[in-house]
Each structure stands twice: as C-alpha cells, then as structure tokens.
Amino acid sequence: MSVRVRRVYDPPEPGDGVRVLVDRLWPRGMAKDAAHVDEWPKGLTPSTALRRWYHAGEGSYAEFAERYEAELDAPSAAELLAHVRELARQGDVTLLTASKSPGESQAAVLLRLLGEK
C-alpha cells in the first residue's frame, strides 16, 4: 500500500485510492464534486495561527514542520493521524493539498510521518 501527495487541482487517477484533503480551507475555485475528496479531517490540518504564520513568510519550512508535528501530538490530531495510517495499511491513500509547493507543505510532513509507521 502506498501514500502519496498530489495537488487537489490535478484530475483524479485510478491509483489514488482514498483521497484525503489535508488543507484546513477548501481549495479556491474547486467545486466539491470535482475534487473527489473522500475524507477531510480538518482536525489533522495545521491550526489557523500556524497556517497564517507560515504563509506570511515569518519562518522556514523546517520550523513550520516542527511546529506542525507538535500540533499533531494533541490527542484529537493524533487520533486522526492514526486513522489515516490505518487507511494506508488497508490500501492506497492520496493526501491532497492546494499548495503550489506540496513538498513544503503539511502534506509533506504527513507523508513523512505516515512513512514512519
């Protein structure tokens, strides 16, 4: 089973498996039926404060990743992460983000953590 990251704006592919949106906000200009999102665990996404801090350019990706991982230690977020990990054990999972740089987003952090199973 595999976990991968894709932009939500890319068309769905047969190998996507369960499509999980990992952004707190719905992607701009994307109709809900066109996104083909299976799950949207908002509690797994970075907090509004962390998201705003990172997008304002106030810190590095490494610092963002560290702060986000700390947020994921909260019981509710840890439970959602465990759920996505279980989905990945059962089949393919695609983490979806609207980020123009998915490799430097919360999706990349989640991909790494899910890979550490």
- Mind listing the pLDDT tens digit for each residue in 9-43? 999 999 999 999 999 999 999 999 999 999 999 99
pLDDT at 117: 53
Delimit the domains of the chain by residue range: 3-115
Whether the pTM exceeds 0.85: the reply is: yes
Q: How many residues does the chain have?
A: 117
In this prediction, the residues of the chain whose per-residue pLDDT falls under 50 are none
Radius of gyration of the chain (CA): 13
Separation between Cα atoms, residue 66 and residue 72, nearest integer Å: 10
Instruction: Give the number of other Cβ atoms within 10 Å of residue 61's Cβ.
Output: 14
pLDDT at 58: 84
Task: Name 89's Cβ contacts closer than 8 Å, sequence gap at least 6.
Answer: 1, 117
The answer to whether the CB of 39 falls within 8 A of the CB of 86 is no
Instruction: Give the number of other Cβ atoms within 10 Å of residue 24's Cβ.
Output: 16
Separation between Cα atoms, residue 112 and residue 117, nearest integer Å: 9
Detail the DSSP E strand segments found in 1-117: 3-7, 18-21, 93-97
